[in-house]
Amino acid sequence: MVGLMSLTALISVFLAYGAYRLGWIHRSPRLQWTLTAAYAGSGLLIFLNVWIIARLMFASWHDLLLATVLLAFATGIAMSLGYFSSAALTDRIRMLVQAAREIAQGRLATRVSDPGRDEMAALAQTFNEMAAQLQATEQKQRELDVLRRDLIAWVSHDLRTPLTSIRAILEALADGVVEDPAVAQRYLQTAQRDIRSLSGLIDDLFEMAQMDAGGLQLERSAGSIADLISDTIERFSEIAGRQGIELHGSAGAGVDPVHFDLQRMSRVLSNLTGNALRHTPAGGSVCLTAARTPEGVTVAVEDSGEGIRPEDLPYIFDRFYRGEKSRNRATGGSGLGLAIARGVVEAHGGVIRVESEPGMGAKFVFTIPNDSGSGK
């Protein structure tokens, strides 16, 4: 009996290994058929083994017939359970295949619902995570495409306006249309202003390109934030005076020294101050302050201007975003100043935020964290 069972077991293992090595298992068009065939083959081998042993052990044909009937029922039950188990497994696989096809067709919102707790459920969860990442990537790509198109349109607009003005002025001067020296001088001053505007836009674009490429190198050194505030106020005092705006500021005790890139932080403070002056009416005020905090040095630029609409606040630091949709250069810059300010502050390891309500002015606050390092 032991020899017979060992022989049939070896034959079974040999046949299964041969089917595996020769690839016969993979030739079946459906996994369910493969699993059912495996259950049927296993049941048949068990049936034959037990039947032969029973034939040798039982002297009565009645007992052998009874054992045969019982074996037939047991084999049938095993095959039925195996069939439905394989059907449940293949149904879940088909669900995954169908979801994968929908993903391939671009329907990235497709998800698989599998309440199980086995490996197939884990596979379904992994599939859903993959689909969510693909959807997020596709959404980000769409946003980048929109931003790229907007970038071309906005840059074209901001370049074309001063170029058109400069060309008209040069043509007028070249054709001798302007004969009055005072008018010619005024035309030249306008051309100089437009050239400075173009130069500033090109500088902003170059700065953003450096940030995107990860090439924004900081030359940090110990400096004075109080002197930086004083220099900024002096730089914008004439503009503030012409607009009838009070520009003042102060630095708290113990703010200096600060470890930062002086040139780039000066750019941040200039962008914030120029933005505040641009949106503050005559009779208003702009105040620059700095104070030492446990996290570092906090700098604030606060104005009493028109404030920022709630719908604009989430996007105020996005590049080329301007609440004034006409992109009139008289009421707004290129839309890069705040984006550059955020990039420089974050390169220092700090954060920048804005607090504002319509009609109540705006307050831009950024922090330069404590840093004793001296590298780039």
**Chain mean position to CA 23:** 45
The confidence score (pLDDT) of residue 287 equals 92
Q: Collect all residues with Cβ–Cβ distance below 8 Å to 295 and sequence separation of at least 6.
A: 367, 369, 370
Region 300-328: what's the mean pLDDT? 72
**Distance in angstroms (rounded) separating the CA atoms of residues 124 and 114:** 6
219 to each of 202, 213, 236, 257, 344, how far by Cα in Å? 22, 18, 25, 15, 12
Q: How is residue 357 written in tokens?
A: 């309500």
pLDDT over 60 at 333, yes or no: no
Name which residue leads in pLDDT, 277 or 210: 277
How many Å from the N-terminal Cα to the C-terminal Cα in the chain? Answer: 83
The confidence score (pLDDT) of residue 95 equals 85
Which helix (DSSP H) or strand (DSSP E) does residue 291 occupy?
A: strand 285-293
Task: Look up residue 298 and give its DSSP letter.
Answer: E
The confidence score (pLDDT) of residue 27 equals 65
Name which residue leads in pLDDT, 33 or 91: 91
Q: Give bridge partners of residue 287 from the DSSP assignment.
A: 248, 302
pLDDT over 80 at 301, yes or no: yes
Give residue-wise pLDDT tens across range 349-373.
888 888 888 888 889 999 888 764 4
Q: Which residue has the tokens 């001088």?
A: 185
pLDDT over 60 at 209, yes or no: yes
For residue 21, how many C-alpha atoms fall within 13 Å in the half-sphere facing its CB? 6
Region 267-284: what's the mean pLDDT? 87
Give residue-wise pLDDT tens across range 117-146.
777 788 888 988 999 999 888 888 887 777
375 pLDDT tier (thresholds 50, 70, 90): very low
Q: What are phi and psi of 365, to 5 degrees?
A: -130, 130
288 pLDDT tier (thresholds 50, 70, 90): very high
Give residue-wise pLDDT tens across range 213-222.
666 677 788 8
The confidence score (pLDDT) of residue 76 equals 74
**Distance in angstroms (rounded) separating the CA atoms of residues 40 and 27:** 17
Percent of the residues in the chain that have a pLDDT greater than 70, as a whole number:
77
How many C-beta neighbours within 10 Å does residue 168 have?
Answer: 13
